[in-house]
Chain A
């Protein structure tokens, strides 16, 4: 029976080629616009570390109090980064399974190969626990040890990209890298690890950037060597003393912080710890306000920081609107097409076809339009995704790609959407009264 309906549908669709073509093109464009914007949205809003994101948390401590909010700001949110005092205290207390304070560095690296100009590598000053916490994958070597943190060892983990530039690739573990005039020993070379968004430090990277994550050095070493903060610094009052040391003594916030907490108990305990810490600061007179901390999970944090650009969301919504219009359009055309065949339906019903069979026949016809529209949509989505690179910012466009799941989704969306659009027309077709149709002619 299915084959027969397919045949009927094909005949019907062939009868009015222009209209069939119009429906297919409409569905194709609607689906392609949605899927193209969806692929971008999916890329920027996805979970960068799905197997672990529920165990990663970002603590925030209110070290500004009411002064941190303008007269119009009623949010009472603590600053979204940490000052040096609190970051160091949290590292020292070491209450989470893993924790790392982080700040962005921009280091001048002098390649060992002769005749090459120095290059700048953007990276992060982190603790040794950064690597196990984020399941960082290495091509060669590993991260450094807690002892290296304590001794302010001049060790570095570099990306494959920097490894190529500085050493011409290969296993560079043990080699010496000249960073800002200091000699660092390479202990690890990263594998294919450049998560987007750069979820570990969205405050300083804005989430998406092509240039970062090329060099990692111990936080303590970076501070000891006065590696300046390359990221944002926010202050409610300007530091009282000059220089990097002045920044460290100030209440300015410039450090990102992340902890790993494995279960609900650990989360509760850490929250309690933060509140106790802030209360102690209040007692000591540093804070003149009650503890006001946050402990957001990674995905909540990315959402709070608006990592997904609003343009990406707007584009997706507008494209979905386009798809909706395309569906309404298809529904109208299918309705007209089906109802014009009232007499044919009447004859089929009179000859014994049940309502159910009419349903099947017309839904198959809609589905075929959807399938053809989906196939066209696939081609157009492919074009769309290669086209977004000159429409969207480069670092975001680079993330959008066509994969099997997108292929399947595109086809499914096209077929399901078209069958939905065909539902009402089919209902009307099935409701045709055979007697009336036969009589009138």
Chain B
């Protein structure tokens, strides 16, 4: 079949053809970028944090009427209160491990600082999030130590939340270790935190531990975590608890009751919006990624509507053209064209229109991505999205055109003899 008659016919419908081409192009451009956004969000949500999330829960509470923690005596008093809580929790039947901790991956409450290789370094080598905890931190969170050792209980110190000083030893994530020491010999090396002159020795390396920020500003250092053997004392504390397998709910209930029994002067009623209460890690995760999942769903809904509208548009317009050309089709059939010839005619016609649409659409898609990169500092879209989008839209076009094209192929040659 030659293309000439099709092109000649299309010229007669310039405006209609232009509109449907434009529609396909816009659809491709938007769908590609929306699917790209979905892909990114899904990828983000599925990143493993590096901790064993099952059976883990978090306690966030504030002591009422506690000292401010600004002088040595009140810090020791706060520390005693915190140690009592930790001991209380460790004694519970459904609890496996407990650690004092300042934050958790995905909790969106970060303490970050610079890690340098020299004392008094003005610009740090790497930015990292700090986790302050005790010798049970690795154990409770289920982190995997790939080199070196854990902190021992005698190495744990305590200090006020706003205390000064840096720890003599730290454990870092493998990602951070590799960035600081690309040769892979981080163990035993010295780093300097916060541009200070106090050396900290790397005594251990854990496989992976995400920082508390779940996205956005933390993306550039998402795996740079530093574990410090320090129990922070303040009138607000966080405690991570690992329940015995399958006993999460029971352990959470026991913890609340035991803590109130040990000291009723505390705020522990669940107010997750302001970081108070007891919640399983699954809730920490859900809260962190709610916006990302929502955005992915929204983009998905919009893509679905777009594709439906465009498919319906193709069906509608082709139906019209078929109706308009019944006489010509009849003549062609009378002159010996088979049903398949007619079917193929409309399919080829759609292929041409969709082809032009996706070429224009591909350019628009890349342009839109570039604009969003500039406007919203989004990542560069892989061309794979565009390629898949092109194939999908061509298939959609063929699918949409099939029903009207088949109706056209069924036009009887007798139509040629009918006038109006």
Q: Which of B90-98, B150-158, B237-245, B294-302 contacts A (4 or more CB under 8 A)?
A: B294-302
Task: Check: A238 CB closer than 8 A to any chain B CB.
Answer: yes
In the assembled complex, A403 has its CB within 8 A of some CB on chain B: no
Is A110 an interface residue when CB atoms closer than 8 A count as contact? yes
Indicate if A311 sits at the interface (CB-CB under 8 A): yes
A244 contacts chain B at the CB level, 8 A cutoff:
yes
B253 within 8 A of A: no
Cβ contacts under 8 Å, A392 to chain B: 291, 294, 298
Cβ contacts A376-396/B at 8 Å (1 or 0 each):
000000000000001111110
Q: Whose C-beta in chain A lies nearest to the C-beta of B292?
A: A311
Contact among B196, B266, B274, B313 for A26, CB-based, below 8 A: B313
The contact string, 1 if C-beta is below 8 Å from chain B, for chain A 291-305, is 000000000000000
CB pair B267 A119 closer than 8 Å: yes
Q: What residues of B have a CB within 8 angstroms of the CB of A203 in the complex?
A: none
Q: Is B37 an interface residue (CB 8 A)?
A: yes
- Given A120-B267, A441-B420, A19 contacting B316 (CB threshold 8 A): yes
| Interchain CB contact (< 8 A) of A242 among B62, B162, B298, B420 | B162
A336 touches B321 (CB 8 A): yes
Number of interface residues of A (CB under 8 A): 70
Residues from 54 to 80 in B contacting A, C-beta threshold 8 Å: 62-66, 68-71
Q: Indicate if B236 sits at the interface (CB-CB under 8 A).
A: yes
Known: A108-B64, A238-B164, A325-B310. A211 touches B19 (CB 8 A): no
Bound form: Cα–Cα A244–B123 in Å = 26
Interface centre among A26, A30, A325, A340 (most CB of B within 10 A): A325
The distance from the CB of B121 to the nearest CB of chain A, in whole angstroms, is 12
Query: Which of A43-51, A186-194, A314-322, A348-356 faces chain B?
Result: A314-322
- With CB as the reference atom, state the residue of chain A lying closest to B164: A242
Question: Could you say which residues of chain B place their CB within 8 Å of the CB of A336?
Answer: 16, 316-317, 320-321
CA distance A132 to B275 in the complex (A): 31
B372 touches A314 (CB 8 A): yes
A108 touches B376 (CB 8 A): no
Q: Which residues of B contact A33 (CB under 8 A)?
A: 301-302, 305
Is residue A329 contacting chain B, with contact meaning CB distance below 8 A?
A: yes
Q: Are A328 and B22 touching (Cβ within 8 A)? A: yes
Assess whether B271 is interfacial by the CB under 8 Å rule: yes
User: Which residues of chain A are within 8 angstroms of B15 by Cβ–Cβ distance?
Assistant: 335, 424, 428
B420 nearest CB across to chain A (Å):
6
B273, CB-defined interface residue at 8 Å:
yes
Nearest-neighbour CB distance to chain A for B375, whole angstroms, equals 8
Are A332 and B27 also in contact (CB < 8 A) when A246-B164, A325-B309, A340-B323 are?
no
Which residues of A sit under 8 angstroms from B69, Cβ to Cβ? 243
In the assembly, what is the distance between CA of A154 and CA of B299, in Å? 51
State the Cβ distance, A197 to closest chain B Cβ, in Å: 16
Q: Is A173 in contact with chain B by the CB < 8 A criterion? A: no
B295–A332 contact, CB under 8 A? Answer: no
Is B99 located at the chain interface by the 8 A CB criterion? no
Q: B394 at interface (Cβ–Cβ under 8 A)?
A: no
Interface pair B320/A340, CB less than 8 Å apart? yes
B290 interface residue, CB < 8 Å from A? yes
Question: Does A169 have its Cβ within 8 Å of any Cβ on chain B?
Answer: no
Tell me how far the C-beta of A96 lies from the nearest C-beta in chain B, rounded to whole angstroms.
31
Q: Is B102 among interface residues, defined by CB-CB distance under 8 A?
A: no
Q: Chain A contacts of B319 at CB under 8 A? A: 19
B241 to chain A, nearest CB (A): 20
Q: How far is the CA of A318 from the CA of B316 in the complex (A)?
A: 24
State whether B162 touches A329 (Cβ < 8 A). no
Query: Within A15-48, which residues are at the interface with B (CB < 8 Å)?
Result: 18-19, 22, 25-26, 29-30, 33, 37
Q: In the complex, are the beta carbons of B313 and A329 less than 8 A apart?
A: yes
Could you tell me the distance between the alpha carbons of A378 and B328 in the complex, rounded to whole angstroms?
43
Contact B274 A120 (CB under 8 A): yes
**B259-293 vs A: 1/0 string, CB under 8 Å?**
01000111111010110100000000000001100
**A-side contacts of B236, CB under 8 Å:** 106
Question: Do B68 and A26 touch (CB < 8 A)?
Answer: no
Q: Is the CB of B266 within 8 A of A118?
A: yes
Most chain-B CB neighbours within 10 Å: which of A243, A319, A324?
A243
B309 touches A326 (CB 8 A): yes
- Chain B residues in 8 Å Cβ range of A67: 122
Q: A333 and B316: CB pair below 8 A? A: yes
Name which of A71, A226, A228, A340 has the most chain B CB atoms within 10 A of its CB: A228
- Give the chain B neighbours of A309 by CB distance below 8 A: 291
Instruction: From B26, B63, B269, B313, name the one whose CB has the most chain A CB atoms within 10 angstroms.
Output: B313
A141 interfacial contact with B, CB 8 Å: no
Contact across chains for A333 and B123 when beta carbons are under 8 A apart: no
Contacting pair B30 A325 (CB below 8 A): yes
A residues less than 8 Å from B188 (CB atoms): none
Contact residues in A for B299 (Cβ distance below 8 Å): 315, 318
State A122–B99 Cα separation when bound (angstroms): 26
Determine the distance from Cα of A237 to Cα of B70 in the docked complex, in whole angstroms.
20
When the two chains form their complex, are residues B302 and A238 in contact, meaning their CB atoms are under 8 A apart? Answer: no
B312 within 8 A of A: yes
- Cβ contacts under 8 Å, A18 to chain B: 316
Q: Is A239 an interface residue (CB 8 A)?
A: yes
Does A210 touch B at the CB level, under 8 Å? yes
B251 contacts the other chain (Cβ, under 8 Å)? no
User: Which residues from chain A contact B274 at a C-beta distance below 8 Å?
Assistant: 106, 120, 122, 211-212
If A29-B309, A108-B63, A244-B68 touch, does A318 touch B30 (CB 8 Å cutoff)? yes
Q: How far is the CA of A359 from the CA of B68 in the complex (A)?
A: 78
Counting chain A CB atoms within 10 Å of each CB, which of B29, B37, B297, B306 scores highest?
B306
* Beta-carbon nearest neighbor of B276 in chain A: A120
B309 touches A26 (CB 8 A): yes
CA gap between A393 and B265 in the complex, in Å: 32
Q: Which of B20, B194, B266, B294 contacts A390 (CB 8 A)?
A: B294
- B163 close to chain A: CB less than 8 A: yes
Q: Could you tell me if A118 and B312 are in contact, using CB atoms closer than 8 angstroms? A: no
Q: List which A173-187 residues lie within 8 A (CB) of chain B.
A: 180-181
Smallest Cβ-Cβ distance to B68: which chain A residue: A226
Taking CB atoms, residues of chain B closer than 8 Å to A310 are: 376
Q: Is B34 part of the contact surface with A, judged by Cβ < 8 Å?
A: yes
Chain B hits for A92, CB < 8 A: none
Q: Interface code A331-374, partner B: CB below 8 Å = 1, 0 otherwise?
A: 11101110010000000000000000000000000000000000
In the complex, A150→B236 CA distance in Å?
Answer: 29
Measured between beta carbons, the chain B residues less than 8 angstroms from A332 are 16, 19-20, 23, 313, 316-317
Nearest chain B CB to A365 CB, angstrom units: 16
Q: Are B196 and A238 in contact (CB under 8 A)?
A: yes
Chain A contacts for B321, CB-based, 8 A: 336
Contact B19 A244 (CB under 8 A): no
Q: Are B164 and A311 in contact (CB under 8 A)?
A: no
Is there an interface contact between A239 and B20, defined as CB atoms closer than 8 Å? no
Residues of the A chain whose Cβ atoms lie less than 8 Å from the Cβ of B71: 243
Q: A329-B312, A329-B313, A335-B19 are in contact. List 6 more A-B contacts (CB 8 A).
A: A117-B266, A117-B267, A212-B274, A243-B68, A313-B376, A332-B16
Which of A's residues lie within 8 Å of B, judged by CB? 18-19, 22, 25-26, 29-30, 33, 37, 67, 70-71, 106, 108, 110, 117-120, 122, 180-181, 209-212, 226, 228, 237-247, 309-311, 313-315, 318-319, 321-322, 324-326, 328-329, 331-333, 335-337, 340, 390-395, 424, 428, 441
26 A-B contacts (beta carbon < 8 Å): A22-B312, A33-B301, A33-B302, A33-B305, A108-B65, A108-B235, A108-B267, A119-B267, A120-B267, A211-B271, A226-B68, A228-B68, A238-B196, A239-B162, A240-B164, A244-B162, A309-B291, A324-B26, A328-B22, A329-B309, A332-B313, A333-B320, A335-B16, A340-B324, A394-B290, A395-B273
* 4 smallest beta-carbon distances between A and B, as pairs: A181-B65, A243-B70, A332-B19, A391-B294
